[in-house]
Amino acid sequence: MFLPSLKKYNPCLIDYAVQLHQSGQILPDTYVVDLEAIKKNTKKMVKVAQENKVELLYMTKQFGRNPVIAKTIEEAGIPLAVIVDFREAETFMHYGLHLGNVGNLVQMPRSLVKKVLAYGTKYVTVYSMNNLVYINQIAKELKITQKIILKVIGNSDELYPGQVGGLTISEFESNFTKIVNFSNVELVGITCFPALLFNDTTNKIEPTTNIKTIEKVRKIFRENNYPLQVVSLPSATCCNSIPLIKKLGGNEGEPGHGLSGTTPLHANSRQPEIPAYCYVSEISHSFKGHSYFYGGGYYRRGHVHNALVFADNQEYESKVLPFDNENIDYYLELEDSYTEGATVITDFRTQIFVTRSVVAIVDGLQSGKPKLLGLYDSQGKHMPKEIM
């Protein structure tokens, strides 16, 4: 999906990834991440966000919850993270990173609420009245006031399976007075998901129909003369879409793939952010004229199409054949046959935290002084060199 853009805008990442593999410093099923590119992408995005008065909360699930990448993003100007689930909250608290929003995709388990609130998070996103009651109870025990964002769902909203939850508009409206009068939570904002998505027909990032729900909820705030401080419009946040967030009345975005230059928009057009990771594998064997390379990092919505193969001092490009999502990606299949042991480079949309891949962090690449900083598993844990 992103291989053409990677070749155009960050070819040195390909070269160094090949070097790492062929020198035995990394094994196949490794994502190589260009830390310097992440830093530059972040700074560009921060500048656009400041110009549009949009708050950014960074997301790292696509990077495997990696603490080195997270710290780099914070230092580059996005100080707080949006946490995808409670496992990520545990990882971030372990590494002393800064929580910006917990609960926006996965609600907190009851036994973790107190620990997270005590640690400190700017916002908590809530899906139900029962969860709101419980968070208020814990906040009262801790003698704090917790800022709350509510996810509200309309009857015609676009929802992803496995991510369903929120207050209906009628539920929100009927409970509004109760919500704003809780003792230890403060309603500050609303959100929906997804608010923005890439349209592959127009080749633009556009609002979804969920924006209509946001407008209906805005009306409830106005009718109750209650201030609406935060309108979070997530998905596909990048330099290109931040002005759209503002235009739609939003003031908070959550860049994830935008930080690595790998939103669908980046696949076929030049954008301020450059691709900042690639996937490295190796030809395992061939069968009936097709070569198979080691998997482990395949993501079923990744749109992997092509791969570069480095064999016998030559570079080849081959088609990656379609893979059945019902099976485990022990291997992925190439259209052609190549030397066993050859390096394979590809680049597709990923969510590293749901893979079994290794993450190799490289710094100094854009400055011409590349250095492998370390290897991490897909959950952000450092891997000692002895296991290689």
Q: Is residue 265 assigned to a domain? A: no
Same domain, 14 and 94: no
- Do 116 and 189 lie in one domain? The reply is yes
pLDDT grade for 144, boundaries at 50, 70 and 90: very high
In a domain, 129, yes or no: yes
* Structural domain span for residue 192: 79-254
Q: Within a domain: residue 69? A: no
- Domain endpoint, select from 225, 254, 283: 254
Residue 161 has pLDDT above 90, yes or no: no
68 domain residue, yes or no:
no
Among residues 221, 254, 287, the one where a domain terminates is 254
**Do 347 and 229 share a domain, yes or no?**
no
**Do 330 and 194 lie in a common domain?**
no
| Ramachandran category for residue 48: left, alpha or beta (phi over 0 → left; psi -120 to 50 → alpha) | alpha
Indicate the number of domains in the chain.
2
Out of 220, 254, 288, a domain closes at 254
Instruction: Specify whether 343 is located in the same domain as 288.
Output: yes
- What pLDDT score was predicted for residue 162? 86
Mean residue pLDDT of the chain comes to 95
Residue 27 lies in a domain: yes
Name the band, by pLDDT with cuts 50, 70 and 90, for residue 158: confident
d(CA 241, CA 256): 13
289 and 160 within one domain = no
Average pLDDT over residues 311-331: 92
Decide if pLDDT at 230 tops 90.
Answer: yes
User: Is it the case that residue 213 has pLDDT exceeding 90?
Assistant: yes
- CATH value at residue 147: 3.20.20.10
pLDDT tens for 366-379 read: 999 999 999 999 99
Pair 12, 115 in one domain: no
Per residue in 172-189, pLDDT (tens digit) is 999 999 999 999 999 999
User: Are residue 107 and residue 189 in the same domain, yes or no?
Assistant: yes
In a domain, 302, yes or no: yes
Domain-located, residue 247: yes
Residues 247, 135 share a domain: yes
CATH of the domain at 294: 2.40.37.30
Average pLDDT of 233-255? 97
Long-range contacts of 203-210 (CB under 8 A, 24+ apart): 203/265, 203/268, 203/269, 204/265, 205/236, 205/238, 205/240, 205/241, 205/244, 205/263, 205/265, 206/244, 207/233, 207/244, 207/248, 208/158, 209/156, 209/157, 209/158, 210/154, 210/157, 210/158
Given a cut of 80, whether residue 388 has pLDDT beyond it is: no
Percent of the chain with pLDDT over 90: 92
Q: 210: phi > 0 → left, psi -120 to 50 → alpha, else beta; which?
A: alpha
386: pLDDT strictly greater than 60: no
Tens of pLDDT, residues 14-58: 999 999 999 999 999 999 999 999 999 999 999 999 999 999 999
Verify that 206 and 295 share a domain, yes or no. Answer: no
Q: Are residues 246 and 368 in the same domain?
A: no
Whether residue 361 is contained in a domain is answered as: yes
pTM metric for this prediction: 0.95
* Percentage of the chain modeled with pLDDT above 70: 99
Q: What is the pLDDT of residue 199?
A: 94
Q: Say if residue 1's pLDDT is above 90.
A: no
Provide mean pLDDT across the span 235-263.
Answer: 97
Query: Which range (60-69, 73-82, 320-329) has the least confidence?
Result: 320-329
Secondary structure of the chain as H, E, C letters: CCHHHHHHHCHHHHHHHHHHHHCCCCCCCEEEEEHHHHHHHHHHHHHHHHHHCCEECECCHHHCCCHHHHHHHHHCCCCCEEECCHHHHHHHHHCCCCEEEECCCCCCCHHHHHHHHHHCEEEEEECCHHHHHHHHHHHHHHCCCEEEEEEEECCCCCCCCCCCCCEEHHHHHHCHHHHHCCCCEEEEEEECCCCEEEECCCCEEEECCCHHHHHHHHHHHHHCCCCCCEEECCCCCCCCCHHHHHHCCCCEECCCHHHHCCCHHHHCCCCCCCCCEEEEEEEEEEECCEEEEECCCCCCCCCCCEEEEEECCEEEEEEECCCCCCCCCCEEEECCCCCCCCEEEECCCCCHHHCCCEEEEEECCCCCCCEEEEEEECCCCEECHHHC
pLDDT of residue 180: 97
Residues 335 and 360 in one domain: yes
Residue 108 pLDDT > 70, yes or no? yes
